[in-house]
Amino acid sequence: MANRKPLIAGNWKCNLNHLEAIALVQKIAFALPAKYFDKVDVTVIPPFTDIRSVQTVVDGDKLLVTYGAQDLSEHDSGAHTGEISGAFLAKLGCTFVVVGHSERRTLHAETDEVVLGKTKAALRHGLTPIVCIGEGLDVREAGEHVAYNVAQLTGSLAGLSADEIAKVVIAYEPVWAIGTGRVASAADAQEVCAAIRSTLAELADATVAASVRVLYGGSVSSKNVGEIVGQTDVDGALVGGASLKSDEFATLSAIA
Ligand code: PEP
């Protein structure tokens, strides 16, 4: 994986109130001694309403775990009821923000254009966007998954400069593997992640492509993370279900 430091990001989705969030982040930190953070970056991605509580614990206890948000608005402020600005997330000390998760793309009709707008908003505020792409089962079974992911990546980063692309993280999350227990094989993950890196070289340049972290997501657990993250072009994992269990999340982070 060249010199890229692995990143394990725990996407809590719409789970845990702010008290439960405090308990989980404390348990993760307890289960993951400081020495592990030399070799892996670990971040938690709670619901918006938990972020302030997580910030208090992380800052108060000087934890090495970082945190982020699951989404953000394309807009920085104004008449956008219900939206959360990147400026607010930055003020709360977020490091990362997930954009274009398949649940947003599918359930909230987010197009590549919207994902691009959110990616730009994240970059404007110094947040690291974790840009998600991934094919559905129909595309995979038709054997069109590489072209599909290349197109989704290209659309989601369209017009960004090489300097901007250098600041993103990409997450390849095949939709058929998310929350299903059906994990992609390590070879499947490597195939698409390698295509992502080649595309990054075309959109930016070879140096940027070699530096950007490309994660795999989809039913990652302590049982499969080692083999997946051991692939040349896979630099970590975006983890859903397994990130809600402190011991499991700490164990898989330590393996990565
Ligand atoms: C996700 O939510 O991004 C995800 C990969 O979920 P899970 O690990 O549960 O498949």
| 33-71 tens-digit pLDDT | 999 999 999 999 999 999 999 999 999 999 999 999 999
- Both tokens assigned to 186: 């390590």
CA of 123 from ligand 1 middle (Å) equals 24
Name which residue leads in pLDDT, 1 or 185.
185
Q: Which atom of ligand 1 is nearest to the CA of 242?
A: 8
Q: For the chain, how far is it from start to end, CA to CA, in angstroms?
A: 11
- Both tokens assigned to 19: 């008290």
Strands 128-133 and 96-99: parallel
pLDDT, average across residues 180-201: 96
> Environment class of residue 49 by beta-carbon count within 10 Å: exposed (0-12), middle (13-18) or buried (19+)?
exposed
pLDDT band, residue 2 (cuts 50/70/90): low
| Mutation choice for ligand 1 from 43, 106, 219, 249, CB with most ligand atoms inside 8 A | 219
- Which residue has its alpha carbon closest to ligand 1 atom 7? 240
- Helix (H) / strand (E) containing 61: none
Q: What's the rounded Cα separation, in Å, for the pair 85 and 245? A: 29
pTM: 0.97
Pocket residues: Cβ below 6 A from ligand 1: 11, 13, 173, 178-179, 217-220, 238-242
Residues 73-101 pLDDT 10s: 999 999 999 999 999 999 999 999 999 99
- Both tokens assigned to 90: 């930055």
Q: Which residues pair with 215 in a beta bridge?
A: 171
Residues 164-175 pLDDT 10s: 999 999 999 999
| Mutation choice for ligand 1 from 169, 178, 180, 249, CB with most ligand atoms inside 8 A | 178
Backbone Cα Rg of the chain: 17
Nearest to 208 by CA among 249, 157, 174, 144: 157
Q: Percent of the chain scored above 90 by pLDDT?
A: 96
Does 1 have pLDDT greater than 90? no
Q: Which atom of ligand 1 is nearest to the CA of 219?
A: 10
pLDDT, average across residues 137-147: 97
- Which residue has its alpha carbon closest to ligand 1 atom 4? 240
Q: What's the pLDDT score for residue 3?
A: 83
Name which residue leads in pLDDT, 22 or 181.
22
